[in-house]
Amino acid sequence: MADLDQFRTETRAWLEANCPPEMRQPVKSEDDVCWGGRNFEFQSEAQKRWLQVMAERGWTTPDWPREVGGGGLLPAEAKILKEEMRRIGARNPLNSFGISMLGPALLKYGTEEQKQRFLPPIVRGEIRWCQGYSEPGAGSDLAGLQTRAEDMGDHYLVNGQKVWTSYADQADWIFCLVRTSTESKHGGISFLLFDMESPGVSTKPILLISGYSPFCETFMDDVKVPKDQVVGEVNKGWDVAKYLLGHEREMISGMGLGGGAALLGKSVGDIDDPALRAEIAAFDVDALAFAAMSERFIDQLKAGEAHPAMPSMMKYSGTELNKRRHELVMAAGGSDTLEWDSERTRKGKPAREWLRTKANSIEGGTSEIQLGIIAKHILRLPGA
Amino acid sequence: MTLLTDDQRQLHDMAKSFLAEEGTIKQQLRHWRDTGCKDGFGHGLWKQFAELGLTGIAIPEDKGGLGLGATEAALVLEEVGRNLTPSPFLTTAVATARALGGTAQGDRWFPGIVAGETVAALAVDEGKHHRPETVATAATRSGNGFTLSGSKQFVVHGASADVILVAARTGGSTGEREGLTLFAVERDAKGMEVENVTLADASKAARLTLEKVEVDADAVVGEVDNGWAPLSRALAAGRAGSAAELVGLASGAADMTTEYLKARKQFGKLIGEFQVLQHRSAHLFSEIEIARAAAYKAAELIDRGDERAELMTHVAKAKAGRSAALAVQEGVQMHGGIGMTDEHDIGLYMKRQAVLDRLFGDWRYHAGEVARIAGY
């Protein structure tokens, strides 16, 4: 306990000294989020410096091992760091699919050489990753994917198409599920890493109902991939894919926390309708209870006590909650929040975010897929 | 950390096996209901609670208790809820004991409570809804003491109690916390009429009519006009405790239903194979787990004396109430016709849920309190 108290004191002092005041302001828009990568343009010197000082301590990835550049913190220490950052309103120094998805998969399934090669640039925010999972014919039935990787002796030749690739047009590398065998559905999939600048890779943004294009179609046309860029065994990529999905779902479930925002009833302004107030109060009960669940889940996860299917429960509950939050924000906003491109609404932010949340319960496995996983693996219902 | 300590896990395991063996629906709830017991619970089992030290769970060690917190009470109550075990544990050992802590009345009643010989009740509600600030029962000074007049309802185990803590107004006006005083009134006090009422779940709660009931000055629990202090301790413990009991009840109902889905066949297959029931069961599972996390969190914050404890206790009671309501409604529906019979236990869960939800305030009351505290 004394050690942890000391850690808290030191962390608090270090954050005070090193977190720039600009980085303690709430994130106002997507532009304020630091994603890193080869082509990332920092919004400010402060944003750049905040990433740099945090990465030097490995605190962009507090609980990754020191050998790969991580912070090497114990779960209790990582939690303290998070609490102390929240205390001063410090922004996340780096948002990254490398941190939340690929990293954990590489730590578990990668070779020593792969870990040394790929993890440190993730910690430092130098390489931005995207996820090549879904295909036009393989959404919920992900293992039905058709993108082929043909064994050419010293390399693979990849042909096919991915869809819903988040930020593929801005990413540097992709982790990609490909078919290396047609003998078996789940047993013919491999997990490949390659550079998005490889000849034959092209992307095309998809315009969503929100008017934003966070997702792309990604096309692979005779893309050469060196053989040492397969993670895990050939044809056993489904294990890696599933493990990574658990982490993706954990990340998405965080949406249920509403970005750590205050109670919804406090943030939507005057509520003059008793029916709406009651609905918002019921929502705030669910949101605060979910926050308690989220804390408990992370503690259980770090202690190795979480059921492997629990990320599905968290993803399901968190995303459904987030959709409800935005429905209520829109309801409270009345006709103000219907404006699509006015400066008053910062170019239709409430409406566009509301529409964006509708994807939450689809991406990373639909709510129905998550419920199926809970029914099968936790409740052990027959035929699920 | 939100994880249990080794000691807490041990206590939980002990409560689990004790109540699964001794507190079953067949041996306790059905037995006392079907034999028309006036208490609605067995004194033999209450003695067993005492032998395990559980009657003194919230009573300080120097008063003969275990001196444990809201978290430990929650762990025991989860198992009470799972087995629908009737006993004075929640109201006597958890809620009322907290009100008595550190008071002269505590010294008087603790030995009997610890020994499993004394039942203590809490009389707060005066209307059909729980609104503790609106207490109107009047206590006027007379001679060396007070005279109490008014009425109370939903006094759990009131007719079986040796002592009833009665919230009354010595000052202030309706709606205010100031001016309330808590009195320890003996059940056979002159002028207090006690009507023993059987509720839907076969549990007993009393309606009290107080007509010029005279009590000595030393019947005051804590200080005159400052009854909110002991009362709010009792309410916090009762709310967090009943939230935990509701979580256990919800788990018990959901587990029973899941087992039924794995056994019942229609259309030539197990009904648990139907996706429509799988998804509803999975949703229910999620809601119960979230309610459990909220109940544990509320208890943890109470134990730490954290300023967020009050808010989180309202959250826990509201979330547990709703999740348990979903559990029993889905439970009866998924059991089909057999779920409507008295012979099957699932309906007992539904009836107990309704009572526990209303006890110490239903989920709508607590959602409203969340809005009130947040200021909207």
Pick from A371, A378, A380 the residue to mutate for testing the B interface (most B CBs within 10 Å).
A371
Q: B316: distance to nearest CA of chain A, Å?
A: 7
Q: B79: distance to nearest CA of chain A, Å?
A: 20
The reply to whether A207 touches chain B by the CB within 8 Å rule is no
Q: Which residues of A touch B319 (CB under 8 A)?
A: 285-286, 289
Residue A16 pLDDT > 70, yes or no? yes
Do B211 and B253 belong together in one domain? no
Residue B109 pLDDT > 80, yes or no? yes
Domain span at B169:
122-226
Do B300 and B259 belong together in one domain? yes
**Averaged pLDDT of chain B:** 97
Q: Which residues of B touch A361 (CB under 8 A)?
A: none
Q: A336: distance to nearest CA of chain B, Å?
A: 20
Phi and psi at residue B303, in whole multiples of 5°? -65, -30
DSSP reduced 3-state for B101: coil
How confident is residue A29, by pLDDT bands cut at 50, 70 and 90? Answer: confident
CATH of the domain at B63: 1.10.540.10
- Say what the pLDDT of residue A261 is: 61
Do B126 and B221 belong together in one domain? yes
Among B98, B119, B140, the domain boundary falls at B119
- Say what the pLDDT of residue B144 is: 92
- Beta-carbon contacts of residue B149 (< 8 Å; ≥ 6 apart): B137, B138, B210, B211, B212, B213
Residue A256 pLDDT > 80, yes or no? no
Q: B213: distance to nearest CA of chain A, Å?
A: 41
Q: Which residues of B touch A300 (CB under 8 A)?
A: 3
- Which ranges of A97-157 does DSSP label H, i.e. alpha helix? 97, 103-109, 112-123
**C-alpha to C-alpha distances, B221 to A106, B58, B65, B101, B105, nearest whole angstrom:** 62, 17, 19, 9, 6
- Say what the pLDDT of residue A30 is: 77
Q: How wide is the angle at C-alpha A231 spanned by C-alphas A229 and A235, nearest 5°?
A: 110
pTM over 0.90, yes/no = yes
Q: What is the ipTM of this complex?
A: 0.96
CB contact under 8 A, B291 and A282: no
CATH architecture of A129-235: Beta Barrel (2.40)
How confident is residue B365, by pLDDT bands cut at 50, 70 and 90? Answer: very high
- Say what the pLDDT of residue B1 is: 64
CB contact under 8 A, A317 and B366: no
Cα separation, B192 vs B149, whole angstroms: 9
CB contact under 8 A, B290 and A317: yes
CB contact under 8 A, B311 and A375: no
In a domain, B256, yes or no: yes
CB contact under 8 A, A382 and B262: yes
Do B197 and B237 belong together in one domain? no
Pick from A296, A361, A367 the residue to mutate for testing the B interface (most B CBs within 10 Å).
A296
B249-284: pLDDT as tens digits: 999 999 999 999 999 999 999 999 999 999 999 999
Do B154 and B103 belong together in one domain? no
Percent of all residues in chain A with a pLDDT value above 70, rounded to a whole number: 99
- Say what the pLDDT of residue A253 is: 85
Answer yes or no: A248 catalytic: yes
The reply to whether A284 touches chain B by the CB within 8 Å rule is yes
Do B210 and B191 belong together in one domain? yes
Domain coordinates in residue numbering, chain A: 2-102, 129-235, 239-378
CATH class of the domain at A239-378? mainly alpha
- Say what the pLDDT of residue A1 is: 62
CATH of domain A2-102: 1.10.540
Residue B281 is nearest to which of A368, A379, A383, comparing CB atoms?
A: A379
| Token pair for A363 | 């991406």
Mean pLDDT of A177-181: 97
Q: How many domains does chain B have?
A: 3
Least confident residue range of A293-307, B114-128, B232-246 = A293-307
Per the listing, tokens 């003491």 go with: B145
Do B356 and B267 belong together in one domain? yes
Q: B264: distance to nearest CA of chain A, Å?
A: 11
Mean pLDDT of B192-213: 98
In a domain, B350, yes or no: yes
CATH of the domain at B138: 2.40.110.10
State the DSSP string of A344-383. TTTTTHHHHHHHHHTTTTTTTS-HHHHHHHIIIIIS--TT
Do B339 and B250 belong together in one domain? yes
The H or E element containing residue B74 is helix B70-83
Cα separation, A58 vs A78, whole angstroms: 11
How confident is residue A28, by pLDDT bands cut at 50, 70 and 90? Answer: confident
In a domain, B191, yes or no: yes
- Say what the pLDDT of residue B252 is: 98
Residue B376 is nearest to which of A266, A299, A313, comparing CB atoms?
A: A266
Do B326 and B312 belong together in one domain? yes
How confident is residue A260, by pLDDT bands cut at 50, 70 and 90? Answer: low
Residue A285 is nearest to which of B277, B296, B319, comparing CB atoms?
A: B319
How confident is residue A259, by pLDDT bands cut at 50, 70 and 90? Answer: low
CB contact under 8 A, A286 and B312: no
B140-172: pLDDT as tens digits: 999 999 999 999 999 999 999 999 999 999 999
CB contact under 8 A, A296 and B296: yes
Do B60 and B115 belong together in one domain? yes
With a CB-CB cutoff of 8 Å, which residues 39-98 of chain A face chain B? 76, 79
Residue A289 is nearest to which of B2, B262, B294, comparing CB atoms?
A: B294
- Say what the pLDDT of residue A26 is: 85
Cα separation, A253 vs A250, whole angstroms: 5
Q: Indicate which residue of A77, A84, A135, A248 is catalytic.
A: A248
Residue A17 pLDDT > 90, yes or no? yes
CB contact under 8 A, B278 and A292: no
How confident is residue A27, by pLDDT bands cut at 50, 70 and 90? Answer: confident
In a domain, B234, yes or no: yes
DSSP letter assigned to residue B345: T
CB contact under 8 A, A382 and B272: yes
**Averaged pLDDT of chain A:** 94
In a domain, B206, yes or no: yes
Q: A272: distance to nearest CA of chain B, Å?
A: 10
Among B191, B226, B261, the domain boundary falls at B226
Q: Which residues of A touch B315 (CB under 8 A)?
A: 284-285, 288-289, 292
Single out the residue of A218, A73, A55 nearest to residue A147, CA to CA. A218
Residue B278 is nearest to which of A265, A316, A375, comparing CB atoms?
A: A375
